[in-house]
Amino acid sequence: MEFSGFEVDVPETFPVILTVLPGTGSNFGFTFSPSSGCAPFTSTFSPLITGGGAPVTYDWDFGNGNLFTGDTPPPQTFTQAGDHVVALTTSIGGYQLDQVELVSVNGNWCGDVEEPDIPLIGCTGSPDLYYVITDGNGDSYTSSTQDDVSGATWSGLGATLSVPPYSIAFFDEDPVSQDDALGTYNLTLGVPGTYPFSIAGGTVGSLMISETVLQVFHDTDIVQVFAAPGMTWTYDSLSQTLCLGDTALVSVTWFLDGDTIPNANGLCVQTNDPGSYWATGTNGFGCTGLSDTLVICPLITITSDEGILYTDNGFATYAWTFNGTPIAGADGAFIFAQGDGNYEITITTDDGCTVNATYTLITTSVSIEETTAAHLIIFPVPNDGRFTVRALGAAEGQAELQVMDLQGRVYATGQPRLAGDTSIDLDLGDVAPGTYLVRLQDANGTMMVRTIAVY
Ligand SMILES: [Ca+2]
Ligand SMILES: [Ca+2]
């Protein structure tokens, strides 16, 4: 769906070509998808900068209140409309040389003009120790010299080891004669810690190596969150009007019991019929929403006619009582009168309504009237499903005829036109034996009811 010139329903991915320039921090360090959507939506994130074997840490701030450290952050949900700044700090770690210690050295320092080897006496003096460390590019660094010592320690070095492999060579400094080589240790970096060595026949010591951060990248990007439509409604029971409150909605569809209500595309709808009302709506961002459901419960009444009490059919359940006592088996739209007294019907609907109606039956007071009131005559009784209905005293004009069973299932309907003493022939076909109810409503709305027995 397209609104205002941009599409929003399709998840979008923005591939990013990464060029890592150490220290600039202005490059994309991560990908994410989708980068925009209607609230709430969930996006997934992946880092792009790897350490090439060096330890890397990823510190995320998703701009939705969530922080995460690691290379596989959980999917992030954005509920607030607006631009969210997502920041990733990528820290590439490495090793640094903290300390070089020589416990002892071999005897190569001895026997020159600086430290002569005198017969019967032996070596005189002590070596003047320094080291040269060389990296993988062949670049080297020469340490300070510690004069006239048998061992030495260089500490607090903090030398980054970012170009492996490294070798470290030890020497005795001799001002006149050539410096004496005391051995070379080739360092294979693995984990931080102490690297002891014993080389060249007596040169013994250790290196202390720790982890450090070599490079840090800061990357930010924007996640764009569009506001979902507001789908809350208010209901005015007096005018039976249900209205959505979001005037930014550009499209609304109203539903009644799952069916679209014809021509109901505005913010308001009239709840003329009972049932479940809800709406879907779309705003200018193309974001859609679904409203809560408003259930309008039906109003029911009990009508009495010729020993039959009935109410509307089509509800989920029916339960009748007579003078407060449930009538066994009375789970349909009508019952036979049990005698004068108080009747109550309680119905439920599929959308959760429970509605009742009461009726007080007093036959003596209306018995005279009954004889003259409009009523039905049906014959033969009983019958095989084929019978004739005659409406006596009914108003002339188009009537509504219905035949149903005790459970409210409708077997026949018709709109006979009544004129004088009209006979209506009916054939229910192959129906189960039992009691059926015939209802006829004449043009004046007068309801006439009669039961028939079918064998
Ligand atoms: Ca020497
Ligand atoms: Ca020396």
pLDDT of amino acid 15: 38
Q: Where are the alpha helices (DSSP H) in 318-443?
A: 363-372
Gap from CA of 129 to ligand 2 centroid (Å): 8
User: How many whole angstroms from 273 Cα to the centroid of ligand 2?
Assistant: 108
**Residue 63 class from Cβ within 10 Å (0-12 exposed, 13-18 middle, 19+ buried)?**
buried
Residue 112: nearest ligand to its CA?
1
Is 292 found in the same domain as 318?
no
One domain for residues 205 and 99: yes
Distance from residue 183's CA to the centre of ligand 1 (Å): 14
Gap from CA of 102 to ligand 1 centroid (Å): 16
Considering every ligand atom shown, identify the ligand nearest to the alpha carbon of residue 180 and give its number. Answer: 1
> 321 is in which domain, residue-wise?
303-365
To the nearest 10°, the Cα dihedral for 264, 265, 271, 272? -20
245 and 314 in one domain? no
Residues 184 and 248 in one domain: no
Q: Over the range 24-39, which residues count as b (16 or more CB within 10 Å of their CB) and which as e?
A: eeebbbbbbebbbbbb
CATH of the domain at 35: 2.60.40.10
Chain CA centroid to CA 13, Å: 20
Q: For the domain that residue 333 is a member of, what is the CATH number?
A: 2.60.40
CATH of residue 153: 2.60.40.150
Beta bridge partners of 321: 326, 344
Quick one: which ligand is closest to 173's CA?
2
Quick one: pLDDT at residue 420?
A: 73
127 CB contacts (<8 Å, ≥6 apart)?
Answer: 105, 109, 110, 115, 148, 149, 150, 172, 180, 182
Confidence at residue 364, expressed as pLDDT on a 0 to 100 scale: 61
CA angle in degrees (0–180, nearest 5) for 395-400-405: 125
86 and 22, same structural domain?
A: yes
Tokens of 22: 């150490």
Distance 201 CA to ligand 2 centre (A): 19
On whether both 99 and 205 belong to a single domain, the answer is yes
Using the mean position of ligand 2's atoms as its centre, give its distance from the Cα of residue 142 in Å.
Answer: 16
Alpha-carbon distance of 370 to 363, in angstroms, equals 9
| 126 CA → ligand 1 middle, Å | 8
Residue-level pLDDT at 369: 45
Output the pLDDT for position 372.
55
The CA 135 to ligand 1 mean position distance, Å, reads: 26
Ligand whose nearest atom lies closest to the CA of 110: 1
Rounded to whole angstroms, the Cα distance separating 425 from 298 reads 33
Q: What pTM did the predictor assign?
A: 0.51
Structure tokens at 350: 């599929």
Provide φ and ψ at 208, rounded to 5°.
-110, 125
What does the pLDDT read at residue 215?
Answer: 87
- 173 CA → ligand 2 middle, Å: 5
The whole-number pLDDT of residue 188 equals: 92
User: How many structural domains are present in the chain?
Assistant: 5
Question: Which DSSP symbol is given to 383?
Answer: B
**Residue 398 DSSP class:** E
Sequential pLDDT tens for the chain (455 residues): 333 444 434 444 443 333 333 222 235 799 998 888 898 889 999 999 987 777 899 999 999 999 999 999 999 999 999 999 999 999 988 899 999 999 999 999 999 999 999 998 999 999 999 999 999 999 999 999 999 999 999 999 999 998 889 999 999 999 999 999 999 999 998 889 999 999 999 999 999 999 988 889 999 998 899 998 999 999 998 999 999 999 989 999 999 999 999 999 999 999 989 999 999 999 988 899 999 999 999 999 898 877 888 888 889 999 999 999 999 988 988 888 888 899 999 999 998 999 999 998 887 644 444 445 677 878 777 788 888 888 878 888 889 999 988 777 888 888 988 887 777 888 888 888 888 888 888 888 888 888 888 88
pLDDT at 373: 67
Q: Does residue 200 share a domain with residue 108?
A: yes
CATH number at residue 412: 2.60.40.3080
Sign of the CA dihedral with 330 first, then 332, 338, and 340 last: positive
203-226 and 36-38: which strand pairing?
Answer: parallel
How does pLDDT run across 375-404, given as a tens digit for each residue?
A: 787 877 778 888 888 887 888 888 999 998
| Same domain, yes or no: 205 and 102 | yes
Cβ-proximal residues to 17 (8 Å cutoff; 6+ apart), any chain: none
Domain boundary among 296, 323, 341: 296
Distance, CA 181 to ligand 2 centroid (Å)? 11
Q: Which ligand is nearest to the CA of 145?
A: 2
The CA-atom distances, in angstroms, between 27 and each of 30, 54, 72, 86, 399 are 9, 20, 20, 13, 80
Question: Does residue 444 share a domain with residue 419?
Answer: yes
Clarify whether residues 108 and 199 are in a common domain: yes
148 and 279 in a common domain? no
Q: Which ligand is closest to the CA of 127, given by its number?
A: 2
- Residues near ligand 2 ion, CB 5 Å cutoff: 114, 128, 172, 174
